[in-house]
Amino acid sequence: MALRDAGAEVVYLGLRQTPAQIVAAARAEDADVIGISVLSGVHLALAREVREAQQAAGVADIPLVVGGTIPPQDAAALAELGVRGVFSVGTPIEEVVRGVLEVGLLARDPLTPGGSR
Amino acid sequence: MSSTDSGIPVEPWYEPPDGPAPALGRPGEPPFTRGPYASMYRGRLWTMRQFAGYGSPEETNERFHFLLERGQTALSVAFDLPTQLGYDSSHDLAGHEVGRVGVAIDTAQDMADLFDGLPLAELSVNFTINATAPIMLAFYLVAAEQRGVDPAGLAGTLQNDILKEFLARKLYVFPPQPSLRLAGDVVEYCARELPRFNPISVTGYHAREAGCDAIQELGLTMAAAIAYAEHFTARGLAFDSFAPRLSFHFSSQLDLFEEVAKVRAARRLWYQIATERFGAASENSGRLRFFSGCSGATLTAQQPLNNVVRSALQCLAAVLGGAQSIHVMGYDEALEIPTEESVQLALRTQQIIAYESGVTRTVDPLAGSYFVESLTDQLQQRASALIEDIDAAGGYVRLLEQGVPQRWIAESAYAAEKAVQSGEKTKVGVNRFVTGDDGPPPQLFTVDETAAARQRARLAARLAARDDAAAKQELSQLREVVAAGGNTMPAFLAAARAGCTVGEITGVLRAEFGEYTEPPPW
């Protein structure tokens, strides 16, 4: 809701999506950012699988961000997997919005941060 | 127990000199505003029931023993997501989720291992299971049979509230109508065979945790209870045959007096619904009993030790409201499933309130407070208005199918979060009194990464050891019962005895009922 309020187009896939489904949708929608939310604690394994699926589909350049119940000590491991933003429990909404828009815009036009299409 | 610390005698309950107001009654008497039982905690304390489960059955069994040895008085099983969605641990979709947020149970034999060494005949067990509830009940009954325990004597609660899965918890599998049929099969079976078992726990907890307010929690819970009662009576069950065994489940958040008023209003409202709407003849049909799960959503990842205090307040609210059983959240649950240290502290929180605070000495101690009685009236009125709106819009199930109450919750949650973000609502350690140095993160629970592989190996061994033809035979019998519209419980029991897995049994139901996809939330 907050991302929509901020002017982003949000394609919400709903619950229980596999990494392959997520990547296929991102590709079909020409997404600027992929965001996944994980509350069960399997964020490391799932983020790895989504990144692998992105590589396999040739869309590794779409930045991946992860939100959910994520202990602070896991943030570094997620970054190593290539996750560009981690929004754990308690992250202010505006920080999530700013973070998602920033990585999305950077990916779209890496030479002019803040630029838009 | 019967006097204060300084020796002043304490009566079982207090009331005005000219007797109780009709809207209150006496404890244990209609309309049960003051509590379902006359003696309440003077007669028996609430049941201390910490929700627990992770890894394989033997690991959770260890946690159960740990809790009981420390004075817990009943058990509550958390199942992993594959079990809740009816996938075996070996299924592709189960993947990393095996044993993650609860215990993995694939077969009745797993259920027997889960309760190894525990006195089933004396224990009350809660099962937080919904879409696959009838299957888990069948597994439990078969495990009891194998141990020589008469199922008729078993006590416990099956959550089995599928409507709130569509509303807020989201672990539905089948569409609403066949889901209601399965819930009804369990209720019908339990009414006949398991007199001490609560076959359904009508739950407002998850809607509240997902972000609605106390009025919506109360109104939506009652609307769901009405929908179930209408469904069960429509299939021919007498209201008084199942209503006395309906259990309820509320959250307990931090607005102490509102939380107490909420459950007092809930009891009065349910009595009114039972008698006026459903013509209850048995007094027990209108006697609302509830479990309080306290609240994880109010806990913070920041300064996690602050959650110890929040949990104590939530537990106190549940006790002052007259809960029959309580789970207290661990302080680390905004980050991980709780450690042994954390669950012990949660249990000790209950024990300190029970044995040291003195609040159990008299029933409904806040009765007669101008504020609390006014709040109780307000909550009842506002929740009743919500129920009327739901009735007028065609009923609760219809609204759920259209995604309407789901949107109410999303809107409330967003508004509440914005109030925290703007500082309008204070959250200590989050938007005020932030030190910038929260200290090192607590020692969190570490997941045994080998548990899932062990569970898959166990399942493979069980499948290899069973009589495959007999198992297949039971599955095809089940398919026939499902298609013919009969009560499915006996077929689930037969399948469980033959070693069928949760994935196989749910597979039959998936094929017959189809799977539900929710409407886009916005």
pLDDT tens for each residue of B452-470: 999 999 999 999 999 999 9
Query: Do B508 and B492 touch, CB atoms closer than 8 A?
Result: no
Sign of CA dihedral B230, B291, B210, B166: negative
Pick the more confident residue, A74 or A90.
Answer: A74
Sign of CA dihedral B472, B474, B479, B480: positive
| d(C-alpha B52, C-alpha B126), whole Å | 10
Distance from B473 to chain A by nearest Cα, in Å? 32
Q: Which of A73-82, B109-118, B329-338 has the highest mean pLDDT?
A: B109-118
pLDDT at B522: 62
Give the start-to-end residue ranges of the domains of chain B: 40-422
- For residue B521, what pLDDT band results from cuts at 50, 70 and 90? low
- The token pair that represents B365 in the structure block: 């101690």
Query: Do B273 and B314 touch, CB atoms closer than 8 A?
Result: no
Distance from A15 to chain B by nearest Cα, in Å? 8
Distance from B104 to chain A by nearest Cα, in Å? 14
Does residue A115 have a pLDDT over 50? no
Smallest CA-to-CA distance from B88 within B446, B463, B449, B491 is with: B463
Sheet holding B155-158, edge to edge: B51-52, B75-78, B124-128, B155-158, B197-198
Distance from A111 to chain B by nearest Cα, in Å? 33
pLDDT at A114: 41
Sign of CA dihedral B372, B374, B375, B379: positive
pLDDT per residue as tens digits for the range B10-45: 999 999 999 999 999 999 999 999 999 999 999 999
Q: Which amino acid is at B433?
A: F
pLDDT at B461: 97
Chain B partners within 8 Å of A69 (Cβ)? 334-336
Query: Do B207 and B250 touch, CB atoms closer than 8 A?
Result: no
Query: Do B248 and B288 touch, CB atoms closer than 8 A?
Result: yes
* CA-based nearest residue in chain B for residue A42: B96
Question: Mean pLDDT across chain B, nearest whole number?
Answer: 96
Q: What does the buried/exposed string (b/e) look like for B138-158 if buried means 16 or more CB atoms within 10 Å of the residue's CB?
A: bbbbbbbbeeebebeebbbbb
pLDDT at A96: 93
pLDDT per residue as tens digits for the range B177-229: 999 999 999 999 999 999 999 999 999 999 999 999 999 999 999 999 999 99
| d(C-alpha B156, C-alpha B309), whole Å | 30
* CA-based nearest residue in chain B for residue A1: B414
- Tell which phi-psi region holds residue B52, choosing left (phi > 0), alpha (psi between -120 and 50) or beta: beta
Sheet holding B290-292, edge to edge: B47-48, B325-326, B290-292, B246-250, B200-203
Q: What does the buried/exposed string (b/e) look like for B1-34 if buried means 16 or more CB atoms within 10 Å of the residue's CB?
A: eeeeeeeeebeebebeeeebeeebbbbbbbbbbb
* CA-based nearest residue in chain A for residue B417: A93
Helix H or strand E encompassing B135: helix B133-146
Of the listed ranges A46-60, A78-92, B113-127, B501-515, the least confidently predicted one is A78-92
**Domains within chain A, CATH numbers bracketed:** 2-108 (3.40.50.280)
Does residue A116 have a pLDDT over 70? no
Cα–chain-centroid distance for residue B183? 15
Strands A34-38 and A64-68, how do they pair? parallel
Verify whether the Cβ–Cβ distance A72 to B441 is below 8 Å: yes
Identify from B80, B85, B92, B96 which residue to disrupt to test chain A contact, counting A C-beta atoms within 10 A and taking the largest count: B96
- Is B334 in the A-facing interface, judged by CB distances under 8 Å? yes
- Is B256 in the A-facing interface, judged by CB distances under 8 Å? no
Verify whether the Cβ–Cβ distance A93 to B410 is below 8 Å: no
Identify from B171, B206, B335, B522 which residue to disrupt to test chain A contact, counting A C-beta atoms within 10 A and taking the largest count: B335
Chain B partners within 8 Å of A2 (Cβ)? 414
Q: What is the dihedral of CA B224, B225, B227, B228, to 10 degrees?
A: 120
Angle between helices A19-28 and A43-57 (to 10 degrees): 50
pLDDT per residue as tens digits for the range B122-159: 999 999 999 999 999 999 999 999 999 999 999 999 99
Verify whether the Cβ–Cβ distance A90 to B81 is below 8 Å: no
| d(C-alpha B307, C-alpha B297), whole Å | 11
The three-class DSSP label of residue B269 is helix
Q: What do you get for the CA distance between the two ends of chain B, in Å?
A: 54
Whole-prediction pTM: 0.94
Verify whether the Cβ–Cβ distance A69 to B334 is below 8 Å: yes
Chain B partners within 8 Å of A41 (Cβ)? 100-101, 336-337, 447
* CA-based nearest residue in chain B for residue A70: B335
Q: Which amino acid is at B1?
A: M
Q: What is the ipTM of this complex?
A: 0.85
pLDDT per residue as tens digits for the range B379-428: 999 999 999 999 999 999 999 999 999 999 999 999 999 999 999 999 99
Question: Mean pLDDT across chain A, nearest whole number?
Answer: 88
Which DSSP symbol is given to B421?
H
Distance from B509 to chain A by nearest Cα, in Å? 19
pLDDT per residue as tens digits for the range B234-289: 999 999 999 999 999 999 999 999 999 999 999 999 999 999 999 999 999 999 99
The stretch B304-310 carries a mean pLDDT of 96
- For residue A92, what pLDDT band results from cuts at 50, 70 and 90? confident
Distance from A89 to chain B by nearest Cα, in Å? 6
Verify whether the Cβ–Cβ distance A12 to B520 is below 8 Å: yes
Question: Can you spell out the DSSP letters for B1-53?
Answer: --B-TTS-B--S----TT---TTT--TTSTT-TT-SSSSHHHH-PPEE--EE-
| d(C-alpha B199, C-alpha B233), whole Å | 15
- For residue B372, what pLDDT band results from cuts at 50, 70 and 90? very high
Q: What does the buried/exposed string (b/e) look like for B340-364 if buried means 16 or more CB atoms within 10 Å of the residue's CB?
A: eebbbbbbebbeebbeeeeebbbbb
**Per-residue 3-state assignment (H helix, E strand, C coil) for B221-233:** HHHHHHHHHHHHH
Verify whether the Cβ–Cβ distance A73 to B441 is below 8 Å: yes
| d(C-alpha B103, C-alpha B82), whole Å | 10
Question: Can you spell out the DSSP letters for B461-517?
Answer: HHHHHS-HHHHHHHHHHHHHHHHHT--SHHHHHHHHHTT--HHHHHHHHHHHH----
| d(C-alpha B431, C-alpha B413), whole Å | 17
For tokens 């024990």, the residue is B351
| d(C-alpha A101, C-alpha B382), whole Å | 40
- Is B447 in the A-facing interface, judged by CB distances under 8 Å? yes
- For residue B519, what pLDDT band results from cuts at 50, 70 and 90? confident
Smallest CA-to-CA distance from A25 within A11, A9, A41, A8 is with: A11
Please count the residues of chain A.
117
- For residue A110, what pLDDT band results from cuts at 50, 70 and 90? low
B40-422: what CATH class? alpha beta
Strands B290-292 and B325-326, how do they pair? parallel
- Residue B178: count other Cβ atoms within 10 Å of its Cβ: 17
Does residue B294 have a pLDDT over 80? yes
Chain A partners within 8 Å of B422 (Cβ)? none
Query: Percentage of chain B with pLDDT > 90?
Result: 94
Q: Please state, in angstroms and as integers, the Cα–Cα distance from residue A25 to each residue in A14, A81, B231, B413, following that order.
A: 12, 21, 39, 27
Helix H or strand E encompassing B131: none
Question: Can you spell out the DSSP letters for B279-331?
Answer: ---SGGGG---EEE---STT--SSSTTHHHHHHHHHHHHHHHTT-SEE----T
Query: Do B57 and B105 touch, CB atoms closer than 8 A?
Result: yes
